Amino acid sequence: MLRVITANLNGIRSATSKGFLDWLIQQDADFVCLQELKAKAPDMTPVMLAPEGYTGYFHYAEKPGYSGVGIYAKQQPKEVIEGLGVPEIDAEGRYIELVYDGLSVVSVYLPSGSSGAHRQAAKFAFMEHFFQHMADLAQRGREVVICGDWNIAHKEADLKNWKGNLKNSGFLPEERGWLTQVIDELLWVDVYRRLHPDTTDECYTWWSNRGQAYAKNVGWRLDYQLSSPGLAAVARRSAIYKEQKFSDHAPLTIDYDFNL
């Protein structure tokens, strides 16, 4: 069984102080994909770099305290790919891929467009580049799982207050249409939705820090594992962990009947 976790940490130092790494070690996951490290290499402690049983691989943002992605892995990959080859995107530390013989594992962090028009434009630019990259990934001849904070709620069932967010970043028609293309045209599978096609209130992975959103479960599903069809077909179970709050996101775990 292959266990994969994705978690936006909203700062690895903050999440570590709240017990994230202690929890992680107990999960027996093969891969733990991280987003929003908000740290650079000198900020990382030895346990952040390599929790017990794992080696960490990271793509840091150039800007201090911003973005950044990583993957903790039990097995050493054949290749580590940092970035998408687009300088303005790669400066923000948004993509890392571990390559094995029959599998690639990706951690990705799509931009948020909520802070203004310039960041929404950066988000759309990322989406354009990433769509082609996902098309290329689908043709590589190995199974792939892309874990991350996509900053998009795909369908009305994926957020509590969908009517009030139709004109807001994260639920714009263009963003949702793009994700539909990824699934329908490129044939990537939203694995959580394959396992839970009708779940609504229990599917959320992010809650605003405003207005008691977490207490009232006014959430969004922003954290996904999109996989190649072969890997999605052997997904067996999923879990969104809410018992402890490590950040404003909850970790998503999916188990696949797959041997690396």
136 is catalytic: no
Query: What is the chain's pLDDT, residue by residue, as a tens digit (260 residues)?
Result: 999 999 999 999 999 999 999 999 999 999 999 999 999 999 999 999 999 999 999 999 999 999 999 999 999 999 999 999 999 999 999 999 999 999 999 999 999 988 789 899 999 999 999 999 999 999 998 999 999 999 999 999 999 999 999 999 999 999 999 999 999 999 999 999 999 999 999 999 999 998 899 999 999 999 999 999 999 999 999 999 999 999 999 999 999 999 98
Q: Give the start-end residues of each E strand in the chain.
A: 2-8, 31-35, 55-59, 69-73, 79-82, 95-99, 103-109, 143-149, 189-190, 206-207, 219-220, 223-227, 235-240, 252-256
Find out whether 37 and 58 touch, Cβ atoms under 8 Å. yes
Helices 173-184 and 117-138: crossing angle in degrees, nearest 10, is 0
CA distance 96 to 107: 5
Looking at the structure, give the CATH architecture of the domain made up of residues 2-256: 4-Layer Sandwich (3.60)
Q: What is the sign, positive or negative, of the torsion defined by CA atoms of 138, 144, 21, 196?
A: positive
Domain boundaries, the chain: 2-256
Contacts of 46 (CB under 8 A, 6+ apart): none
Check: pTM over 0.85? Answer yes or no: yes
Enumerate helices (H) and strands (E) in the chain, giving the number of each.
8, 14
- Sheet of 55-59: strand order equals 55-59, 69-73, 31-35, 2-8, 252-256, 235-240
> Which residue in the list 149, 158, 223, 255 is annotated as catalytic?
149
pLDDT of residue 228: 98
Query: Bridge-partner residues for 255, per DSSP?
Result: 3, 237
CA distance 218 to 213: 5
Q: Could you tell me the CA-to-CA distances from 4 to 28, 37, 135, 213, 235 in Å, in that order?
A: 9, 18, 22, 27, 10
CA distance 94 to 87: 11
Tokens, residue 237: 């179970």
CA distance 68 to 179: 22
